[in-house]
Amino acid sequence: MTAPAPGSAVSEAPDAGPSDAGHAAAGAAGPMRTRVYAVRRTRRETPDVLTLELEPGVDGEVEASAPGQFNMLYAFGVGEAPISVSGDPGASGRLVHTIRSVGATTRALCGLRRGDPVGVRGPYGTSWPVAEAEGRDVLAVAGGIGLAPLRGAFARILARRDRYGRVSLLYGARSPRDVVFEEDLRRWRSRFDVEVEITVDHAVGLWRGHVGVVTPLLDYAHVDPDDCVAMLCGPEVMMRHVARDLGRRGVASDRIHVSLERNMECGVGLCGHCQLGGELVCRDGPVFRWDRAEPLLRVREL
Amino acid sequence: MHVIQREGLDALIRQLSAEGRTVLGPTVDGGAIALGQIGSARDLPEGWTDEQEGGFYRLRRREDRALFGYAVGPRSWKAWLHPAEMRLWRARRTDGAFELEAEDAPIPRYAFLGVRPCELHAIRIQAHVLAGGAHPDPGYRARREEAFLVAVNCGEPGGTCFCASMGTGPGADDGYDLVLTEIPDPGDPGGATRFTAEAGSARGEEVLGRIPVREASSGEVDAARAVVEEAAGRMGRSLGAEGLPELLAASPEHPRWGETAERCLACGNCTLVCPTCFCTSVDDTTDLTGEVAERWRRWDSCFAADFSYIHGGSVRGSRASRYRQWLTHKLGTWHEQFGTSGCVGCGRCITWCPVGIDLTEEVAALRRTPVPAAAPGRAADAPTSGGEP
Amino acid sequence: MRGLEQLLAEHPFFEGMRGEDLALIAGCGKNARFGAGEYLFREGEPADHFFLLRSGMVSVEVHDPARGTITVLSAGEGEVLGFSWLMPPYHWVFDARALDLTRSVVFDGACLREKCEGDPRLGYDLLKRVTGVMMRRLEAASVQLLDVYGGAAAS
């Protein structure tokens, strides 16, 4: 072929007129502009997990968000990552996020200290069906860092406890060292109107609780399969197995909700990265009903 | 309907320039039809045509002096409306925090001369994706609004064109400011061509009023219609588009994906040349002092190995899954996400694929063989299907 | 070509089983062949088959979106696969994929259950054999979980 190579066809700045469109941010960048917040408090949950409480800087009020949604958090000069809201924003008026350090951006976010600035864009995405679950039993099943996106929903449910039937939380972590939100778990466990069961994959030393994967804990959750709403959050393999087990126990697939994760560059439906079949996880998720998610997750490498 | 002669075309270009627009159009560059800045009709590819096939592109000389006697080249207008690289914002550290600078760069004002009907649809499709959702890109919206579109109906469909199958051409319906159809001079067939012209918007009317035009004769009106009708019958390819979303949704395990992946290089050419592909990535950078940060946006391709990377690895690791993603999205799930097909039948992906993968052929192959049903094995002497070619 | 009963008699899983019982069970089975890359069963699909592997190698797998396909177990000549047919509501929990040409006797689960209900003594024998395999697999899986070798991936 004698045509210009595709590399040169797109990397050269097109001939332009008054302003060089290849390099100028012509017009506002709009939804990609981040708002500057400040870190008010940090708490180290585990060696690689940090919870941040954020307050808006001069940019004003915290945007109302619902548990299940996420914000794009920006570490100055490093990058942005989609992080689920992990607290109930109604409570403190602050934005709470729990971050696990797995790459350059999350490592930078986990290195933040009180007073440091953070960029926030959002909130985006769908939320847990906290309102729809009213009048029914609630079962929350979390694995690992998956407890973070569920924490706000659980707190909200407990704040209006009388609107729900039986409420159960099952949590599985890798080891006792990896359990997050220990204080919250203890506090919830000490209530008489909530069931909390925790298990770890393996334990060394003084752990006297369950050991094993989280699915057997379903035997301890006294919720009515015919009249409950289940919210699952954790590694995808875990959610698939728990959802199928719940199905075997009679929970309808439109009463099971999962939180999915895919690569996100923009979080606002413009970059194309977070596609899962016909869904955009940033817009149609991250919380999905299982009857919608299951056929998509069944296809490898979709 | 009006008619413009060559001088009128020059006047049109001058008029658009005088309005402060950068006029862009097709030129011959590097052995292909490339889009670039033009100053007059002399810059247009007079007397050229193209020969296109899967993985093949050559320019050929025509016997006449047509200015638009070819199909589309590798470039599309998306390079200007949705630039390949763009800085979204710049921020500076302030005392204990940081601050984003206000955006004050002027919005470029373009005039695109020679927008084909398939490209009008592509622009509309991309505008819907980028500016028609809950979080519209204001930069795209502004550039699109400022772009004056002079469409040209197709008289010379290419070997890989199938706009007729997709309902996107060869004639333009709407979405333009002006539309031209090139017709030969009946008294001088080997001489300069002329153009019928119609406005499609108020500003198109206004521009038309400022250049030398005359009323078209009924013969000229007929000639213009004939150009488009005839072109519709000379498409190089066709695509059976009915039921495609359903077909693709049922085919994720089809063995064809693995077969085509053997040929596909995952080079991403198809996504570069496709006029509707819009995927981008974001790069956050800082200068050496760490005091100034910038956020850039650049084109990305779903064929890139890390396009679908989440902690631990890429969801679409195999080439087969990436080819499946591109085709299924373009012809299938785009409907679910954005309400239309993502394909306009321009044929660029076929021409510019180094190994000539042809999506019309891929669709035909998917239709031809039924999706293998999952079954626990088969009798020992029954023929196997699935993993074997 | 040997009859199905003969094949069963030679397979370690059925070692010591009476001829009449083998004949009864053989009625529920048929020979099958899986080419390399073909699935014996897929996660989530209805599970009502039991596989007696005669030759070849099968990988029992889980697919993780980021890490790709993870093999949790391999099974080959002389082994068996598939217990989901024992307990309702009969769905596969993992994928099983033939790594190379695999020959198997495939038993229909509903048929086996019917035979067992009709002859509890046969049912008990079959269940003991199945339980034996499960116990050995469970012990092995627990040791696998210990991650005793350590290395880069261990925390």
Instruction: Give me Rg for the CA atoms of chain B.
Output: 24
Task: Write the burial class of residue C19 (CB in 10 Å: 0-12 exposed, 13-18 middle, 19+ buried).
Answer: exposed
Looking at residue C146, what is its pLDDT? 73
With contacts defined as CB-CB under 8 Å, which chain B residues touch A16? 22, 80, 108
Looking at residue B387, what is its pLDDT? 31
Lowest mean pLDDT across A81-90, B149-158, B297-306, C31-40: A81-90
CA-CA distance, B7 to C52, in Å (whole number)? 84
Q: Does residue C126 surpass a pLDDT of 50?
A: yes
Across the range C43-65, mean pLDDT stands at: 92
Q: Which has the higher per-residue pLDDT, B389 or A165?
A: A165
Size of interface A-B (CB pairs under 8 A): 239
pLDDT band for position B376 (50/70/90)?
Answer: very low
C44 with A294: Cβ contact below 8 A: yes
Q: Does residue C50 surpass a pLDDT of 90?
A: yes
Q: Does B19 touch chain A (CB under 8 A)?
A: no
Q: Which of B232, B258, B290 is the last residue of a domain?
A: B232
Looking at residue A21, what is its pLDDT? 41
Q: Does A94 touch chain C (CB under 8 A)?
A: no
Contact yes or no for A62/A94 (Cβ under 8 A): yes
B137: its two tokens:
């890109």
With contacts defined as CB-CB under 8 Å, which chain A residues touch C67? none
Q: Interface partners of C (3+ CB pairs, < 8 Å)?
A: A, B
Helix (H, G, I), strand (E, B) or coil at A65: coil
Looking at residue A207, what is its pLDDT? 82
Residues B58 and B19 in one domain: yes
Report the b/e string of A54-90 with b at 16+ CB within 10 A.
Answer: bebbeeeebbebbbbbbbbbbbbbbbbbbbbbbbbbe
Look at residues B268, B236, B256 and name the one whose alpha carbon lies nearest to residue B362: B256
CA-CA distance, B316 to B306, in Å (whole number)? 8
Supply φ then ψ for residue A248, to 5 degrees: -60, -30
Looking at residue B361, what is its pLDDT? 97
Q: Does residue B72 surpass a pLDDT of 70?
A: yes
Looking at residue A59, what is its pLDDT? 57
Q: Does B288 touch chain A (CB under 8 A)?
A: no
The overall average pLDDT reported for chain C is 88
Q: Does C92 touch chain B (CB under 8 A)?
A: no
Residues B172 and B291 in one domain: no
Q: Does residue B216 surpass a pLDDT of 80?
A: yes
Q: In a mutagenesis test of the C interface, which of B306, B314, B378 is the best target, namely the one with the most C β-carbons within 10 Å?
A: B378
Quote the minimal CA–CA distance from B93 to chain C in Å: 36
Q: Does residue A24 surpass a pLDDT of 70?
A: no
Instruction: Provide the total of helices (H) and of strands (E) in chain C, helices listed first.
Output: 4, 8
Q: Does residue A5 surpass a pLDDT of 50?
A: no
In-domain check, residue B239 = no
pLDDT band for position C144 (50/70/90)?
Answer: confident
Across the range A127-146, mean pLDDT stands at: 96
pLDDT in tens, B290-324: 999 999 999 999 999 999 999 889 999 999 999 99
In-domain check, residue C55 = yes
Looking at residue C145, what is its pLDDT? 75
Looking at residue B170, what is its pLDDT? 95
The percent of residues in chain B predicted with pLDDT above 70, rounded, is: 95
The overall average pLDDT reported for chain B is 93
Domain boundaries, chain A: 34-124, 137-249, 260-302
A294 with C63: Cβ contact below 8 A: no
Residues B312 and B182 in one domain: no
In sign, the C-alpha dihedral spanning B375, B376, B379, B380 is positive
Residues B70 and B138 in one domain: yes
State which residues form the domain around C48: 4-134
Residue A193 CB partners (closer than 8 Å, separation 6+): A161, A167
B310 with C65: Cβ contact below 8 A: yes
Interface ipTM: 0.91
Residues B298 and B151 in one domain: no
CA-CA distance, B74 to B36, in Å (whole number)? 12
Cα B296 to chain center, whole Å? 23
Q: Does C142 touch chain A (CB under 8 A)?
A: no
B313 with C106: Cβ contact below 8 A: no
With contacts defined as CB-CB under 8 Å, which chain B residues touch A31? 135-137
CATH fold of A137-249 reads: Rossmann fold (3.40.50)
pLDDT band for position B375 (50/70/90)?
Answer: very low
Looking at residue C45, what is its pLDDT? 86
In-domain check, residue B376 = no
Q: Does C91 touch chain A (CB under 8 A)?
A: yes
**What is the number of structural domains in chain B?**
2
pLDDT band for position B331 (50/70/90)?
Answer: very high
Lowest mean pLDDT across B110-114, B128-132, B340-344, C84-88: C84-88
In-domain check, residue B383 = no
Q: Interface partners of A (3+ CB pairs, < 8 Å)?
A: B, C
Kindly identify which residue of chain B lies nearest to residue A31, measuring between CA atoms: B135
Residues B206 and B258 in one domain: no
B142 with A271: Cβ contact below 8 A: no
Q: Does A295 touch chain B (CB under 8 A)?
A: no
pLDDT band for position A220 (50/70/90)?
Answer: confident
Residues B227 and B249 in one domain: no
Residue B12 CB partners (closer than 8 Å, separation 6+): B4, B113, B150, B178, B207, B211
Residues B54 and B197 in one domain: yes
Q: Does C155 touch chain A (CB under 8 A)?
A: yes
Q: Hey, which residues 44-73 in chain A have their CB within 8 Å of chain B?
A: 57
Q: Does residue C76 surpass a pLDDT of 80?
A: yes
C66 with B379: Cβ contact below 8 A: no
CA dihedral B292, B298, B300, B306 (to 10 degrees): -10
Contact yes or no for A155/A185 (Cβ under 8 A): no
Looking at residue C2, what is its pLDDT? 64
Q: Which of B178, B197, B232 is the last residue of a domain?
A: B232
Looking at residue B274, what is its pLDDT? 98
Kindly identify which residue of chain B lies nearest to residue A6, measuring between CA atoms: B269
Report the b/e string of A101-116 with b at 16+ CB within 10 A.
Answer: beeebbebbbebeeeb
Q: Does residue A270 surpass a pLDDT of 60?
A: yes
Kindly identify which residue of chain A lies nearest to residue C44, measuring between CA atoms: A244
Q: In a mutagenesis test of the A interface, which of C43, C62, C67, C71 is the best target, namely the one with the most A β-carbons within 10 Å?
A: C43
Report the b/e string of A264-296 with b at 16+ CB within 10 A.
Answer: bbbbbbbbbbbbbbbbbbbbbbbbbebebbbee
Q: Does A299 touch chain C (CB under 8 A)?
A: no
Q: Does residue A17 surpass a pLDDT of 50?
A: no
pLDDT band for position C32 (50/70/90)?
Answer: very high
Contact yes or no for B75/A9 (Cβ under 8 A): yes
State which residues form the domain around B119: 2-232
Residues B46 and B112 in one domain: yes
C53-56 long-range contacts, Cβ below 8 Å, gap at least 24? C53/C77, C53/C78, C53/C79, C53/C80, C53/C81, C53/C102, C53/C103, C53/C104, C54/C7, C54/C11, C54/C103, C54/C104, C54/C105, C55/C101, C55/C102, C55/C103, C56/C98, C56/C99, C56/C100, C56/C101, C56/C102, C56/C103, C56/C104
Q: Does residue B389 surpass a pLDDT of 60?
A: no
CA-CA distance, B247 to B327, in Å (whole number)? 12
Interface of B with C (CB under 8 A): 309-315, 317, 374, 376-380, 384, 386-388
Residues B222 and B282 in one domain: no
With contacts defined as CB-CB under 8 Å, which chain A residues touch B52? none
Looking at residue A206, what is its pLDDT? 78
Indicate the angle between helix axes C120-145 and C19-26, nearest 10 degrees. 80
Looking at residue B383, what is its pLDDT? 35
**What is the number of structural domains in chain C?**
1
Looking at residue A89, what is its pLDDT? 61
Looking at residue A8, what is its pLDDT? 31
B388 with C45: Cβ contact below 8 A: no
The overall average pLDDT reported for chain A is 88
Across the range B245-259, mean pLDDT stands at: 95
Q: Does A296 touch chain B (CB under 8 A)?
A: no
With contacts defined as CB-CB under 8 Å, which chain C residues touch A294? 44
Quote the minimal CA–CA distance from B289 to chain A in Å: 11
A236 with C64: Cβ contact below 8 A: yes
In sign, the C-alpha dihedral spanning B278, B260, A6, B307 is positive
pLDDT in tens, B163-207: 999 999 999 999 999 999 999 887 887 888 999 999 999 999 999
pLDDT in tens, A70-117: 999 999 999 999 999 998 766 667 899 999 999 999 999 999 999 999
Look at residues C37, C44, C43, C78 and name the one whose alpha carbon lies nearest to residue C59: C37
Q: Does C100 touch chain B (CB under 8 A)?
A: no
Looking at residue A75, what is its pLDDT? 97
C65 with A174: Cβ contact below 8 A: no
Q: Hey, which residues 132-151 in chain A have their CB within 8 Å of chain B?
A: none
For A34-124, CATH number out of 2.60.40.10, 1.10.630.10, 2.40.30.10, 3.40.50.720 equals 2.40.30.10
Q: Does residue A43 surpass a pLDDT of 70?
A: yes
In-domain check, residue B221 = yes
Instruction: Give me Rg for the CA atoms of chain C.
Output: 17
Residue B388 has its nearest CB partner, among C31, C35, C40, at: C35
With contacts defined as CB-CB under 8 Å, which chain B residues touch A108? none
